[in-house]
Chains A and B, each alone.
Chain A
Amino acid sequence: MSPNKHNRIDPAFKAIRKEAQKRREAFIEAPVPKIHVGMATCGIASGAIETKTAFEETLAKRNIEALIHTTGCIGHCYAEPVVIIDHPDSGFPPILYPEVTPGKAQMLVKLFLEEGDPRLEHILGATVANELIPSIMDFSRFNKEKRLVMEKCGHIDPEDIYDYIAEDGYSTFVKSLHLTPVDIVNEIKNSGLRGRGGGGYPTGKKWELAMHAEGKVKLVICNADEGDPGAYMDRTILESNPHQVIEGLAICAYAVGASRAIMYIRAEYPLAVKIVNTAIQQAKELGLLGKNILGSDFDFEVEIFQGSGAFVCGEETAMIRSIEGFRGMPRHRPPFPVQNGLWHQPTVINNVKTLASVPPILKNGAAWFRSIGTEKSPGTAIFSVVGDVVHVGLVEIPMGVTLRSLIFDICG
């Protein structure tokens, strides 16, 4: 990319960021309490919609002004619906409440927002360290985790792109537009990131093969056909922070020289499909997707393809057949998809978690990523722990933590 293009990218992104920060500051500085409600599929299943309605109704009835902020899922499914109330006038730090039923919501509005009593018997903890009440970081379920991919899940509104940009979102993508594709691929290679879909193939190597593959048109597929019983990591990421995945997709496409990506999402995840659709639209409106992104000569389009309930389509070659409109039957490899994939073009297929790991790696550097996890497999892994444990939900921990520690120490 020629240097004069850079002059256009930076001011364009700066303007977007300024707007995002302005909105964020306006939200933070608003002199009213803020109520954050977790509204991913798991929250909704536990009654988050009823809880939100209860908050709205009670606030209106009691004539209290407060902002309700819908967020994704923080991964603590045992505590759903989760509500964080930030009421600065009371003198208390932001407090996280677990299992907030409509009745509890009414009580909290009356007693906490109106009278300033946070009802300590109902809290899980404060979200930040403080001198008044225990914080959530005192629990092993929180402090043993190391969140890279899910860092922003549950803190930002997945349906508002500015919320993500205010947290430094898309800045890594803009930064990587300044780099050459070779630099990006080398950085990913050095980081030692391995495919998070289960196979563990080195991502950098896959991208390098795709970069060198011959073919005018190259494609990127995001594999979100998560079908293993009890696993819902991909769904949560897509529902709570879709932009991080889109950012990873864009970086990958830029690195391998693709201009089109397909997100293969199961039709069984209607909320994820809806949220990702919104996210793509918003990114397009801001010029972060589409033609000549931010005034550069990089074009990139993202589409959604809804998988229709065949477990085998999570396999790369079966997924390709399925997108082409055939029965999803796996075929022999080689040729690998990076050589001969979708519509016989070189195709990179990466899992949701792999793509979501890319922005943090490029932001903080390969050495930082290598310092987490084990030598051969750096980084973190996300587990969905369900069944006979106390704290069911999603846990993101560095590679190399033992199963015993995961089950007994973290999930209790």
Chain B
Amino acid sequence: MNQELTTEEKAALKSIAKNLETFNKQRGNLIPILQMVQEHLAYLPSEALRMVAEYLEINACEVYGVATFYNQFRFHPPGKHPVKVCLGTACHVRAGDIILENFERKLGIEDGETTADREFSIERVACVGCCALAPVAIIGETVHGHMAPSKVEGLLMRIEIEKDIAKREKEKSESEQT
């Protein structure tokens, strides 16, 4: 929960503070307020939770308790490349947990967290419905079947390389323009 806020998010927090005024200071408005915050920021940073608690004049731990109870709310910003590792029955049997552990170790974050540069986030999901390919991981919107620890390394490397290529091409087109 200790990620630095980006400048856009700081701006969004200000508009959220303005939006808060439209809600009555009632406990019953807590969940609608949290939904509004998440709509703006895509997640609930601790700064926002504290702001909501102050506004409603309740303890921050109460707000946190309610927010963690409901599945809809998330506490980490989504990464640019969200990694979802399937741990449904079929993937579990074919050692999906090893794949999850590999991603966690190589990215240096735990399940449900986001890397500091906001490139990757890891999430474990239940069955994604392609059990014949177990174990399965989804990066971005691409489904990768028959995952193995070596493949984890390869996939992460590929993203790095693709980023490099994109960067080089951008530089190239910019230099061509000038």
Q: Does B66 contact A (CB under 8 A)?
A: yes
1/0 per residue A309-328: CB within 8 Å of B?
11000000000001111111
B29 nearest CB neighbor, chain A only? A325
Which residues of the other chain, B, contact A327 by a CB distance below 8 angstroms? Answer: 65-66, 69
Which residues of the other chain, A, contact B69 by a CB distance below 8 angstroms? Answer: 310, 327-328
- Give the distance in Å from the alpha carbon of A310 to the alpha carbon of B31 in the complex: 12
Taking a contact as CB atoms under 8 Å apart, the answer to whether B32 and A306 are in contact is yes
Which residues of the other chain, B, contact A267 by a CB distance below 8 angstroms? Answer: 35, 72
Q: Does B30 contact A (CB under 8 A)?
A: yes
- Give the distance in Å from the alpha carbon of A343 to the alpha carbon of B71 in the complex: 24
Q: Smallest distance from the beta carbon of B109 to chain A beta carbons, Å?
A: 23
Q: Does A305 contact B (CB under 8 A)?
A: yes
Which residues of the other chain, B, contact A140 by a CB distance below 8 angstroms? Answer: none
- Give the distance in Å from the alpha carbon of A306 to the alpha carbon of B38 in the complex: 13
- Give the distance in Å from the alpha carbon of A322 to the alpha carbon of B34 in the complex: 13
Q: Smallest distance from the beta carbon of B140 to chain A beta carbons, Å?
A: 21
Contact of A325 among B30, B71, B72, B73 (CB under 8 A): B30
Which residues of the other chain, B, contact A343 by a CB distance below 8 angstroms? Answer: 28
Q: Does B27 contact A (CB under 8 A)?
A: yes
Q: Does A308 contact B (CB under 8 A)?
A: yes
Residue among B27, B28, B65, B73 with max Cβ neighbours from chain A (10 Å)? B28
Which residues of the other chain, B, contact A323 by a CB distance below 8 angstroms? Answer: 28
Contact of A309 among B27, B30, B66, B72 (CB under 8 A): B72
Taking a contact as CB atoms under 8 Å apart, the answer to whether B72 and A308 are in contact is yes
- Give the distance in Å from the alpha carbon of A323 to the alpha carbon of B28 in the complex: 6
Which residues of the other chain, A, contact B30 by a CB distance below 8 angstroms? Answer: 325
B58 nearest CB neighbor, chain A only? A325
Which residues of the other chain, A, contact B27 by a CB distance below 8 angstroms? Answer: 324-326
Taking a contact as CB atoms under 8 Å apart, the answer to whether A322 and B31 are in contact is yes
Taking a contact as CB atoms under 8 Å apart, the answer to whether B65 and A306 are in contact is no
CB contact under 8 A between A308 and B31, given known A267-B72, A325-B26:
yes
Q: Smallest distance from the beta carbon of A309 to chain B beta carbons, Å?
A: 4
Taking a contact as CB atoms under 8 Å apart, the answer to whether B73 and A324 are in contact is no
Interface residues of B in 16-41 (CB under 8 A from A): 26-32, 34-35
Which residues of the other chain, B, contact A310 by a CB distance below 8 angstroms? Answer: 69-71
1/0 per residue A32-67: CB within 8 Å of B?
000000000000000000000000000000000000
Contact of B70 among A305, A308, A324 (CB under 8 A): A308
Interface residues of B in 22-78 (CB under 8 A from A): 26-32, 34-35, 65-66, 69-73
Which residues of the other chain, B, contact A309 by a CB distance below 8 angstroms? Answer: 70-72
Taking a contact as CB atoms under 8 Å apart, the answer to whether A308 and B28 are in contact is no
Taking a contact as CB atoms under 8 Å apart, the answer to whether A308 and B35 are in contact is yes
Which residues of the other chain, B, contact A305 by a CB distance below 8 angstroms? Answer: 31-32
- Give the distance in Å from the alpha carbon of A120 to the alpha carbon of B29 in the complex: 55
Interface residues of A in 314-365 (CB under 8 A from B): 322-328, 343
Contact of A324 among B28, B35, B72 (CB under 8 A): B28
Q: Smallest distance from the beta carbon of A277 to chain B beta carbons, Å?
A: 13
Q: Smallest distance from the beta carbon of A126 to chain B beta carbons, Å?
A: 36
Which residues of the other chain, A, contact B65 by a CB distance below 8 angstroms? Answer: 327
Which residues of the other chain, A, contact B73 by a CB distance below 8 angstroms? Answer: 308
Taking a contact as CB atoms under 8 Å apart, the answer to whether B29 and A308 are in contact is no
Which residues of the other chain, A, contact B26 by a CB distance below 8 angstroms? Answer: 325
Which residues of the other chain, A, contact B34 by a CB distance below 8 angstroms? Answer: 308
Residue among A308, A322, A323 with max Cβ neighbours from chain B (10 Å)? A308
A304 nearest CB neighbor, chain B only? B32
- Give the distance in Å from the alpha carbon of A328 to the alpha carbon of B31 in the complex: 11
- Give the distance in Å from the alpha carbon of A328 to the alpha carbon of B32 in the complex: 14
- Give the distance in Å from the alpha carbon of A267 to the alpha carbon of B38 in the complex: 12
B65 nearest CB neighbor, chain A only? A327
Which residues of the other chain, A, contact B32 by a CB distance below 8 angstroms? Answer: 305-306
Contact of A328 among B28, B29, B70 (CB under 8 A): B70
- Give the distance in Å from the alpha carbon of A306 to the alpha carbon of B28 in the complex: 12
Residue among B26, B27, B72 with max Cβ neighbours from chain A (10 Å)? B72
Could you list 9 A-B pairs, sorted by A, with CB under 8 Å?
Answer: A306-B31, A308-B31, A308-B35, A308-B72, A310-B70, A310-B71, A323-B28, A325-B27, A327-B65
Known: A310-B71, A325-B30, A325-B66. 6 other contacts (CB 8 A): A306-B31, A308-B70, A308-B72, A325-B26, A325-B31, A326-B27
4 tightest Cβ-Cβ pairs between the two chains A and B: A309-B71, A325-B30, A308-B72, A309-B72
